[in-house]
Structure 1
Amino acid sequence: MLNTDEALQRVLRLMAIPGKSCEEQQIADAVVAELRAAGLPSEQITSDDAHTRTRKPGAVGNLIARLPGTGDGPTTLLSAHLDTVPICVGCEPVVDGDFVRSANSATGLGADNRAGVAAVLTAAVELLRSGRPHPPLVLCWFVQEEIGLQGSRNMDPAVLGPIDVAINFDGGTVEKLTIGATGGERMTIEVRGRAAHAGVAPENGVSAITIASLAIAELEREGWLGRIDRSEGRGTSNVGIIQGGDATNVVTPAVHLRAEARSHDSAMRERIVARFREAFTTAAAAVSSAEGHTGSIEFSSTVDYDSFRLSEDSPSVVVARDAVTAVGRTPYAEVAGGGLDANWLYRHGIEAVTLGCGQRNVHTTDEQLCIADYLDACRIALRVAAGENN
C-alpha cells in the first residue's frame, strides 16, 4: 500500500526547491534529510565526485544510497536526475484538479525530474518505515542530466557495483518503457576568414559568413541537414548556433558555429559528423580573396551519449513490464529520440529501462504533472524496490 497523500506532498516540496544543473546541493540535501528521517544510516548515503569531471563545475556529485538486502532477489538500481532546467527556478507548485502546475506563470514546474526523484525516494521511505523485505537496493540521483547527461557520464560505475536490474525514472507517460535511445554528438566549428573594408576593398577579404553559408547550403542540398534518410542510414542534424560579425562595413573574419548530429546507429552518427567536417573544409577552400588567400576551419566534436537498445528479454525490461502491468497499465516499448541517463548506464555495463512519471509539456511554462500517473510511478518504484516482480 502507498501513502498517496504523503507521496503527493513530497513531490510538491521537492518541486519548490531550486536546483538547476550544477546547483543541485539544496535538492540533494532535501533527499538526504528524508532518507535519514526514515531511518537510513548516514554511512549508507554518499555523494561521488563526478561533478569534478563535468564540463561545468558543479556544487555536488551524484547522490547514492544503499539499502542492504533483507530478502531474496537481484541487486536493483532505481535512479532519477536531480537537476531541472533554469525556467523552473522560482516555481510555486499547486494542485489544480488532477494535475499539479506552477502558480508562478513565469516558470516551469520542475516535474522533470522532481517527480522521478520523488518516486525513487518514496519507494525508499516506504520500505524503510515498513520493514518489508527487499532485495539489495542501490538508489542513485544523478546531477547535470539536463546539460548533456554529465552526472551519469562522469560517474565511476564501480561506485554502484554490480547491478542486475535497473529502472530509471524520467519524463513521459507511465506505460512507456523506453528500452533504447539515440546517440548524440555535438560539433564546434570555428570558421576563419580575412577581414577587409566591405566598401573600399571587399575583394581583399575572405568572408567567414560566406564560407559557413556555403557549407550549410551544401549540407541541406545533399540531405545531410535536418531529418536524414539516406542509403547510408538515418539520423538528424542541426546547426543551432551561429555567431560572428561586428559591423556591416567589415568583411567578417570569423564565425563560431555549434551543431549536433544524432542517430540510433553510431556509425551513421559518425558519418554525419564527417560530412559536416568535409562540407566546411571544402567551403573554406572555395572562398578566396583577390590575393589568393582562403579561409580555414577548426573543427571539434564531442560524443554526449552513444545509442543503445535493450532486448525484450532483458531482466530490466521484464521487471519493468511486469510492474507496469501490476498497477493496471498496459506497457509498450519505445526507443527515444533524445538522450537519457540510461545511455551512459548502458555504457557503464548497466541495462536500464526508463519509465515516465506523468510529466507533461516539460521545459515550458505550461508544464504539468498528472497526479494519477505520478502516484502510479511511485507504486511501480515501490513494487520494483520490494522485489515483487522478480
Structure 2
Amino acid sequence: MSRLKNKTLKVNDKKALQLVTDLMAIPGKSGEEGQIAAEIQRRLLAAGLPEKQIAFDKAHKKSSIGGECGNMIVKLPGTVKGPRRLLMAHMDTVPLCVGAEPVKKGKLIHSKSPLTALGADDRGGCSVILNALLTILEQDLPHPPLTFVWMVQEEIGLVGVRHLATSKLGKPAMCFNWDGKLSDMVCIGATGDSGMLIHISGVASHAGAHPELGVSAAVIAGKAIDDLASNGWHGLVVKGKDAGSSNIGVLSGGAATNVVMPELTIKAEARSHNPRFRERILNEFKKAFEKAARTVKNSAGKRGKVSFESYLKYDSFRLSQDEPAVQTASQAIQKLGGTPELTIGNGGLDANWMTAHGFPTVTLGCGQQDIHTTSETLMIDEYLKACQIGLTLATATESDA
C-alpha cells in the first residue's frame, strides 16, 4: 500500500492485482485487440464514465494487417486547473501470449502453461492506467485534465501510435507510457530503426545439367553478407564514436535444389541512436549487395541484379532531464520513496512516435520480466508500485508537501 498521507490516493492492491490478472487472460495479439478493448470499455462504463468520452481512432485502417479496432482514447476535463496529462499503454501482445492462464506464485505471476507467454507486456501497463482511471471515477478524486490512450499494434512496429489521431488527445503537456520492468526506471530516450527490403534477381538454370549458365541469388547474398560481417557492418556496429546495430532477419527464395536460385528476398534492419550513422549503415548494406552482384556472373557473362529499399520504422529520440514529463515522473517516484533512474532504451517504444508527433513522452516500468518468452512473469511488487505512481501522476499530487 502507498505511504501517502492522503488516504484517498491509496491504491487497492487486491483490486489492482485482480485487474491485471483478468486482463492478461484475454487474448489480443496485434490486430486482434477488439476483445481487450471491449473489456476496458465495459469496466469504464460500469464505473460511471459517460460513453461519449470514449473514442476510437482509425489507426487500424492504415495498418498493412488491418485490425479489429483503432487506438482507444478517453479524455476527461479537469476538476482542478493544470496542464493536461496523458497516460498510455498498448493493448496488443505477441502471439505467444494467446491462451495464457495467469497464476500467482509467491511474488510473481506466470502463465500456467509452459507453452505460452504471459502478456505482462503490456497488459501490466494497460492495468496501471486503467486502475488509475477507475480509482478516480469510483472515488471522485480531483484531477487535472487527463487523456488516457490504449494503443493497438505496438508489437509489430509501433503501427498504432504511428497512425494515432493526435487531434483527439487534447494537446497534453506531459505524457507517461507504461511498458517496462522496474517501476523506478524512467526511460527518456530510445534508438531509431530503419528497415531494409533487398531483392536479388539471379539467372535460373538446371543445377545438374548446366550449372554454369546460372547466376545464383544465394551466392550474391552470401558474398554481400560476408563482406558486411568481415568489415564490421553486421551485428554490433561500432565505428569510432558512433555505434548501432544491424541484422539480417529473413531470407526467402528458391524453389528446388536442382535449380540455381533465381530470386532471393532479404529483410533486414539497422538501428542507432544517431540518425546519420543509421543512414550510413543502410548505405553500407546497399553498397555490399550491389558490389556482390557485380562479382557473380555465368559462363555467358550475365550478372544478377539487386534492388534495395529502405524505410523508417521509427526515429530515435532523447529527452532533456529538464523536460516537464521527466521532472514530474521523477518527483512521483521520489514521493513514494523510490529513486528514479533515467535510462535510454535500445528498442523501440510507443514513446518514439509520440515524441515525433510533438508530445514528449517518458516510459516507466510496470513489472514486466522475460517478455516475449514462455518464462515471462509479472513482478507483483513492481506492478503495484507502478499503479501507485500512475495514480499519483493522474491526480497531480507528486509535488504535494
What's the TM-score bracket when you normalise by the shorter of the two chains? over 0.9
- Kindly state the Cα deviation for residue 20 of structure 1 after the two structures are TM-superposed: 0.3
Q: 1:242 aligns with which of 230, 235, 251?
A: 251
TM alignment of 1:223-302, pairs within 5 A: 223-231=232-240, 233-302=242-311
1:266 is aligned with what amino acid?
P
Counterpart in 2 of 1:95? 104
Q: 1:47-68: CA deviations, max 9, x gaps?
A: 0001000121111000000111
Structure 2 stretches of 5 or more lacking a match?
Answer: 1-9
Counterpart in 2 of 1:149? 158
Distance 2:46 2:359 in 1: 30
Counterpart in 1 of 2:26? 17
Q: Is the 8 A contact 2:89 2:150 kept in 1?
A: yes
Counterpart in 2 of 1:86? 95
1:271 is aligned with what amino acid?
R
Counterpart in 2 of 1:7? 16
TM alignment of 1:173-212, pairs within 5 A: 173-212=182-221
Q: 1:270-304: CA deviations, max 9, x gaps?
A: 11111111111111121111111110012212211
Q: 2:60 aligns with which of 26, 45, 51?
A: 51
Distance 1:325 1:54 in 2: 40
1:170 corresponds to 2:179:
yes
1:386 corresponds to 2:395:
yes
Q: 1:111-159: CA deviations, max 9, x gaps?
A: 1000100000000011111111100000001000000000000112222
Distance 1:29 1:193 in 2: 50
Distance 1:288 1:161 in 2: 60
- Kindly state the Cα deviation for residue 248 of structure 1 after the two structures are TM-superposed: 2.4
Q: Is the 8 A contact 1:84 1:110 kept in 2?
A: yes
2:136 is aligned with what amino acid?
L
Range that drifts further, 247-256 or 262-271 = 247-256
Q: 1:166-215: CA deviations, max 9, x gaps?
A: 10000221111100000001111111100111222211110100000011
**What SS is found at the alignment partner of 1:146?**
coil
Q: Is the 8 A contact 1:55 1:150 kept in 2?
A: no
2:335 is aligned with what amino acid?
A
- Kindly state the Cα deviation for residue 231 of structure 1 after the two structures are TM-superposed: 3.1
Q: 1:246-282: CA deviations, max 9, x gaps?
A: 2222211111111000000111111111111111111
TM alignment of 1:86-125, pairs within 5 A: 86-125=95-134
TM alignment of 1:354-373, pairs within 5 A: 354-373=363-382
- TM-score, normalization by structure 1: 0.98
Counterpart in 2 of 1:213? 222
Distance 1:326 1:165 in 2: 18
1:329 corresponds to 2:338:
yes
- Kindly state the Cα deviation for residue 232 of structure 1 after the two structures are TM-superposed: 7.1
Distance 2:336 2:124 in 1: 18
Counterpart in 1 of 2:356? 347
Q: Is the 8 A contact 2:75 2:169 kept in 1?
A: no
How large is the Cα RMSD of the aligned pairs?
1.0
Distance 2:134 2:74 in 1: 12
2:271 is aligned with what amino acid?
R
Number of aligned pairs? 390
Distance 2:187 2:68 in 1: 30
2:103 is aligned with what amino acid?
V
2:52 is aligned with what amino acid?
E
Q: Is the 8 A contact 1:94 1:103 kept in 2?
A: yes
Counterpart in 1 of 2:82? 73
Q: Is the 8 A contact 1:232 1:268 kept in 2?
A: no
Q: 1:288-331: CA deviations, max 9, x gaps?
A: 11111110012212211100000001000001111111222211
Runs of 4+ in 1 over 6 A off after TM superposition: none
**What SS is found at the alignment partner of 1:57?**
coil
- Kindly state the Cα deviation for residue 86 of structure 1 after the two structures are TM-superposed: 0.5
Q: Is the 8 A contact 2:75 2:170 kept in 1?
A: no
Q: 1:73-103: CA deviations, max 9, x gaps?
A: 2100000000000010000011111111111
Q: Is the 8 A contact 2:216 2:261 kept in 1?
A: yes
Distance 1:130 1:246 in 2: 64
**What SS is found at the alignment partner of 1:55?**
coil
- TM-score, normalization by structure 2: 0.96
